[in-house]
Structure 1
Amino acid sequence: MYGLNKLYLLMEKQHNRGQDGAGMASVKLDTSSSTPYMMRSRSNSTQPIADIFGKIGAEIKELEAHQPDIQQHPEFIKAHLPALGELMLGHLRYGTQGKNNVEFCHPFLKRSLEKSKNLTLAGNFNLVNTEELFNSVDLSMGEFQRQSDLAAMMEVIYHYLAMESDNTNGNPSLQKVLENAAAKFDGGFTVGGLVGNGSGFVLRDGNGIRPAYYYTDDEVIVAASERASIRTTFNIGEDRVKPLPAGHALIVDPQGDFKVARVLPEMEKRACSFERIYFSRGGDEKIYRERIALGYHLSQTVLEAINYDLRNTIFSYIPNTAEVAYYGLVKGMEDYLNKIKVERILSWEKDFTREKLEEMVNRKIRQEKIAIKDVKMRTFITADSGRNEMVQHVYDITYGTVRPGTDTLVVIDDSIVRGTTLKESIIRMLSRLKPKKIIIVSSAPQIRYPDCYGIDMSRMGDFIAFRAALELYNDRGMQQSVRDIYQECKALEQFDQLHTKNVVKQFYKPFTAHEISAKIAQLITAEDIDIPVEVIFQTIEDLHNSCPTNTGDWYFTGNYPTPGGNRVVNKAFINFMEGIETRAY
């Protein structure tokens, strides 16, 4: 039961990575010919992990009803409990492609009469060349395959696995299989696979876009997308958990021996910075410090925005994922306030009283829990008029915290993508407190370009920064410049050259980041709200200073690590101009 318990813990400790479903698979070693050796279970229920492991628990109870001491007979329980195996694979689905039906949940599975040709696969990734992948193995895409990049990855890996298995009499070299298959993938990926013969692997893309960590000892070999989940599950120190290098695979054979082997050529490391800003849990000590730094680097800009008036400014955060960056922002405010305290006290020389000194020393940064998410609220109304009314109340507000007309309210968010929640819920909610001014601070820079490597943001029109720049073009009568960019994209598309450069970079060049931020502030403020709103974004420079190991910044800069990214952004712009609402890959 050890392996099942650990898999359950690992999945729960990464539950932030999956809101749409979950799945697990296992492979048994050394089974008799009559015992099934490979199983898979998936769920898209509202509590998918509990659903999967609850069913396993029910099977255990049923066995115990017939034989109470069954766990003292490991071979018997192994033979009668399908989930129990020496190799286990778990996955949390956060749907970025396809529907949320259970068949889209990982792991995927391909069966064969030969053990070495049975394959189950799960991953954290997006691929941007699925059509080319199907063509490379002479398969035509069905409706399901067209919606699933894992289906494309599965077919390619399986193609080379079956070929290698035939050439080696059922003893395939996974390193050769992955070298052949991974060379065809364009995207960001960490993918894990189990083979029916008892071998397994975890593979990371050549740019290291998606995260992967592993730990080994005499008992276990384990890999996961987050270091902290391994540390917690196995109660080990940070130095025991190693990052899987970009372009490498962790490969395990049926005897339990393992190696870390390069399967892709060396490329520029472009680990996703959104992992540090938002996507991963903040329990990892490095991520925690980086999120603190993200907030701290914003403190000087915020001080300027409030005219250094800390007496009449309240600081808070929304949503909870911004909490750690909030601590960093407050730390910056405290450092400034402490500096002022020292300077003021020194300027008094000996001219002060105990009361005057106490007042100065006890001066604090004003912090309040302004908003609390109402977890009971579900925006089940789909009609826009009703839905907007409900969205306003997803957060409960804390009344009495703000002095109306006197206090400026500074609220930090981890990132601003669409701006819809800000406009329909947060700004409207904060305005009910009647502050003198509302300042929204983003710990991430302006999101200007689609992401296609795992955190799916693929439509240009969704981005508030894009819409703000478009408004500036309209304000200044520069619509022809937008049409020129469109025509250049279409010309590249005609000659199948969309991948050669990011044409959309030109779209933002006429405007400063400050001009776009000011327009965003206008767009997220409803017409019936008369309180001034300002928006402050992280700079690219301070992003890299805060997160030095994760330099992947294409959603902010447009500097994509693979040619597929250029193709996606140009196609997304074409789709926007032509009124096509589908994703760009």
Structure 2
Amino acid sequence: MDPLTPMITTNPFDDDKLREECGIFGVSGADTASAIVALGLHALQHRGQEAAGITSWDGHDFHTHRAMGHVAGNFDRDEVIRGLPGGSACGHVRYSTTGETSLRNVQPLYAELNSGGFAVAHNGNISNAMKVRRELIRRGSIFQSTSDTEVIIHLVATSSYRTLLDKFIDALKQVEGAYSLIVMTPEGMIACRDPLGIRPLVMGKLGDTIMFASETVAFDVVGAEYIRSIDPGELVIVTNSGEIRSHRPFGEVHPRPCIFEHVYFSRPDSIVDGSSVYSVRKAIGAQLAIENPVEADYVIPVPDSGVPAAIGYAQESGIPFELGIIRSHYIGRTFIQPGDKVRHLGVKLKHNANRALIQGKKIVLIDDSIVRGTTSLKIVQMMREAGAAEVHMRIASPPTKHSCFYGVDTPERTKLLAHKLDVGGMQDFIHADSLSFISIDGLYKALGEAKRADGRPQYCDACFTGDYPTTLTDQDDVVVTNQLELLAERVA
């Protein structure tokens, strides 16, 4: 992602969800690695829909193809795959950021270092990237993109250590924040997670071919076997001869993987850190029903992300599960850019009420989160216009009060509805008869923990609690700069 500008969403019909920034997939030891990577990226398309790229290694040269848009259409053509020969390849899908989206920011990023070619695909966000970048530029580095990922390349290139592995480890020890990385060099492939394991990364196998991916669904689509998650702080190296080595250069770690992967980001058919996402979301819905019961005729999910939690809520509460909202799957991110006059109709293009079912009924709507609140408002309004007698809303996560700085597309904090209003105020804003959220301890319980640990939480839940697991160097620098500028204005 771009650390120099804030992030916004670009789809006017879907501007009220948190979005994962990236998905990565790597293959080592295959006859046509790039073709396998292209298939895997299809399964990870939900993690990034703005651009995609693949880099391959044929034993002598690196080959890269990057393009704006979806994987389909860009990597489904034979001539593109033929242009990416070799037994190793890595790929990346990403979302856009504020400002002009540039091909130079599309990953994998590639550079020629003294040790040879170096390609990297990154999921996450380096929270001290701007500070490191300024220092590198001061020392003479010349950047080709505005991506935080590029600082890793420059840190490797300027490291005084002798071996490439030691240079890479040296670089990682200078950055903060979240990263799951797949790196390709002439020596082989490296997959690693940051010491907190904030972003996911898993390992799979198909015959003698080793694979790494953001989610296990990428293995399913290519027929590979899921082996295990890459541990937080672990580097797994696959040499060109097929040897696999594990390095743990960070010593003892205290993992805090992103809790929102289980709530929303990952596909429900994925396994994240050993847990079925679908099963966890059903458990969240059941816990939500225990904590926040309501008398209703039907439990209705806000599609598609609310479906598993709604099933769990219905099973626990005994209230029938029904599809009261029908989603159109044909509204893409490149649909018309409407003017203000028709912008408010966007939600009806994507969701439509099942009027015959809900008319005269008391309904409980289940969704994964409320961000700005605009979609929830429109959904509740749609239910009332369709004749619902009562509309109750239940949310399968605690209130989202804080921004994410670890690779998630989050509005600035002042635009988060839960930052501005308490639950009662949020209920009034969306015009629901009642509104309730799962508690933070309830969320942990659904994930198999007794409760949220005091002092050392088991997950990164900063978007709910404000308890960030790392320092936020760049963010702190911005705050200090703003304070100094304000002081200077007052003095003047």
When normalised by structure 2's length, the TM-score is 0.82
What secondary structure is seen at the aligned counterpart in 1 of 2:52? Answer: strand
Q: Once the two structures are superposed, what CA deviation does each residue of 1:232-291 show, in whole Å capped at 9, x if it has no partner?
A: 42343xxx5111111111112232212110122433210001111111111135211111
* 1:428 and 2:381 correspond: yes
* 1:457 and 2:416 correspond: no
Partner of 1:415: 369
What secondary structure is seen at the aligned counterpart in 1 of 2:35? Answer: helix
Q: Which of 1, 5, 12 is matched with 2:42 structurally?
A: 12
What is the Cα deviation at residue 39 of structure 1?
0.7
- Distance change in 2, residues 1:140/1:333 (3 Å): farther
- Distance change in 2, residues 1:152/1:277 (3 Å): same
Residue pairs, 1:150-299, within 5 angstroms: 150-160=149-159, 163-164=160-161, 167=162, 172-174=163-165, 176-195=166-185, 197-216=186-205, 219-236=208-225, 240-284=226-270, 286-299=276-289
Which stretch shows the higher mean deviation, 381-390 or 251-260? 381-390
Partner of 2:110: 109
Partner of 1:511: none
Partner of 1:122: 121
Structure 1 unmatched runs, 5+:
32-36, 61-80, 335-364, 469-515, 526-531, 579-585
- Distance change in 2, residues 1:59/1:4 (3 Å): closer
Percent of aligned pairs sharing the same letter:
21
Q: Which of 320, 338, 342 is matched with 2:304 structurally?
A: 320
- Between the aligned partners of 2:313 and 2:473, the Cα distance in structure 1 is 33
What secondary structure is seen at the aligned counterpart in 1 of 2:472? Answer: helix
* 1:401 and 2:309 correspond: no
What is the Cα deviation at residue 21 of structure 1?
1.0
- Between the aligned partners of 1:381 and 1:3, the Cα distance in structure 2 is 38
- Distance change in 2, residues 1:327/1:123 (3 Å): same
Partner of 2:68: 44
What is the Cα deviation at residue 386 of structure 1?
3.0
What secondary structure is seen at the aligned counterpart in 2 of 1:193? Answer: strand
- Between the aligned partners of 2:141 and 2:426, the Cα distance in structure 1 is 41
Which stretch shows the higher mean deviation, 541-550 or 125-134? 541-550
Letter of the 1:327 partner, please give it: I
- Between the aligned partners of 1:253 and 1:438, the Cα distance in structure 2 is 57
What secondary structure is seen at the aligned counterpart in 2 of 1:51? Answer: coil
What is the Cα deviation at residue 322 of structure 1?
1.4
What is the Cα deviation at residue 542 of structure 1?
1.0
Whether the aligned pair in 1 keeps the contact of 2:38 and 2:75 (CA below 8 Å) is no
Q: Once the two structures are superposed, what CA deviation does each residue of 1:290-344 show, in whole Å capped at 9, x if it has no partner?
A: 11100000112442x32xxx5xx2211112011111111111023xxxxxxxxxx
Partner of 2:430: 524
- Between the aligned partners of 2:204 and 2:355, the Cα distance in structure 1 is 48
When normalised by structure 1's length, the TM-score is 0.69
- Between the aligned partners of 2:393 and 2:369, the Cα distance in structure 1 is 10
- Between the aligned partners of 2:331 and 2:38, the Cα distance in structure 1 is 28
- Between the aligned partners of 2:126 and 2:411, the Cα distance in structure 1 is 12
More helix by share: 1
Letter of the 2:66 partner, please give it: R
What is the Cα deviation at residue 403 of structure 1?
3.8
- Between the aligned partners of 1:462 and 1:325, the Cα distance in structure 2 is 26
What is the Cα deviation at residue 85 of structure 1?
0.8
Whether the aligned pair in 2 keeps the contact of 1:133 and 1:153 (CA below 8 Å) is no
Letter of the 1:211 partner, please give it: P
Which of the two has higher C-alpha Rg?
A: 1
- Distance change in 2, residues 1:434/1:143 (3 Å): farther
What is the Cα deviation at residue 9 of structure 1?
2.2
Q: Once the two structures are superposed, what CA deviation does each residue of 1:105-164 show, in whole Å capped at 9, x if it has no partner?
A: 11111125x5x331111111111111221244345788964x42112222223333xx55
- Between the aligned partners of 2:144 and 2:427, the Cα distance in structure 1 is 41
- Between the aligned partners of 1:439 and 1:456, the Cα distance in structure 2 is 28
Partner of 1:34: none
Whether the aligned pair in 2 keeps the contact of 1:204 and 1:249 (CA below 8 Å) is yes
Partner of 1:21: 51
- Between the aligned partners of 2:419 and 2:406, the Cα distance in structure 1 is 20
Aligned-pair Cα RMSD in Å: 2.8
Q: Which of 456, 465, 471 is matched with 1:557 structurally?
A: 465
